[in-house]
Amino acid sequence: MTIKIVTDSTCDLPADLIAEHDVSVIPLYINFGTESYQDGVDLSREEFYRKLPDYPVAPTTSAPGPEVFRCLYEKLADEGATEILSIHISENLSSTMGVAYLGTKATTRIPVTAFDSRQLSMGTGFLVLTAAKAAQAGQSMREILALIEDQIKRTHVFAALDTLEFLRRSGRMSWAASRLGSLLRIKPLLRMYDGEAQPHRVRTSTRAIDRLVTWLEELVPLEKIALLHALVPEQAEALRARVQHLAPDLKIPLLEINPVIGAHIGPGVLGFACVTRPE
């Protein structure tokens, strides 16, 4: 029995962990006008965020077609996989899950399970990592699915955005902008849990960071944590120093948010992905 794990480029799992645990990643697309780039392949994160504020038209994002998924599943079968688990960004945020599902239906050589992470960024990434470690340890598909279903209930992602502008420009997350309203000088926050994204707002950047810290304090003790940012490494370092005491036994990596998600939330974002310890 050889179970292989597939995900998409929104998972933000670092490259060394992807390689170490033999995870296959399907890049999504960032579209600037008529130009399309594969996330993590044709466009660096730094280049994307520097280009984003001055681009006259909002970039769009998209998933590749089901044939791309099918081809990867069949390639893994050629390499010895006997079963595949394909874990993707929440279907409430992206069409990727639907496309992956079509890819599974077109694959007849081996069983493929498409799984909605009900999360984004490292909320998905932590699930992928758990699944990949379990697969390498020889656990069955049923056992792996039970592990990640349990982890979903303990996974939280929340972030403070610098501006409402990119939410408003985004067709996929305009619902959040409308709920946050049009007040001047507000700082929007988004919180993702079990497939549901909830918008929040405060008046200042300082209060936004305070809210992130409060949310994190409410979740300790933690099993896993990552600090997410979009082109603000200095602020991320300062925030890590502020919260390190909340996870004294854990290393808190600083990870830059991928361009597919960044197209909808913009630069200047700070946030956390974390998994609470089982009770």
pLDDT digits (tens, 9 = 90+) for 122-149: 999 999 999 999 999 999 999 999 999 9
Q: In the prediction, which pLDDT does 1 show?
A: 81
| Residue for token pair 């994160």 | 45
Do residues 9 and 128 share a domain?
A: yes
Angstrom distance (rounded) from CA 172 to CA 161: 16
Angstrom distance (rounded) from CA 197 to CA 246: 24
**Domain range spanning residue 118?**
3-28+63-152
Instruction: Out of 21-25, 146-150, 178-182, 259-263, pick the least confident.
Output: 178-182
The token duo for 93 is 């945020």
Strands of 93-147, DSSP E: 112-116
Do the bridges between strand 270-276 and strand 155-160 make them parallel or antiparallel, or are there none, so unpaired?
antiparallel
- The answer to whether position 49 is within a domain reads no
Cα maximum dimension of the chain: 57
- The answer to whether position 241 is within a domain reads yes
Instruction: Out of 8-12, 40-44, 95-99, 114-118, pick the least confident.
Output: 40-44
Do residues 141 and 169 share a domain?
A: no
- The answer to whether position 256 is within a domain reads yes
Round the average pLDDT of the chain to a whole number and report it.
92
- Closest by CA position to 226, among listed 257, 194, 254: 254
User: Domain total for the chain?
Assistant: 2
Do residues 259 and 219 share a domain?
A: yes
Q: What CATH number corresponds to the domain at position 192?
A: 3.30.1180.10
The token duo for 193 is 């849990």
- The answer to whether position 33 is within a domain reads no
- The answer to whether position 268 is within a domain reads yes
Tell me the per-residue pLDDT of 18-50, one tens digit each, with 9 for 90 and over: 999 999 999 999 998 888 999 988 888 888 888
- Closest by CA position to 158, among listed 253, 91, 225: 225
Q: In the prediction, which pLDDT does 175 show?
A: 52
The pLDDT confidence band at residue 215, using thresholds 50, 70 and 90, is: very high
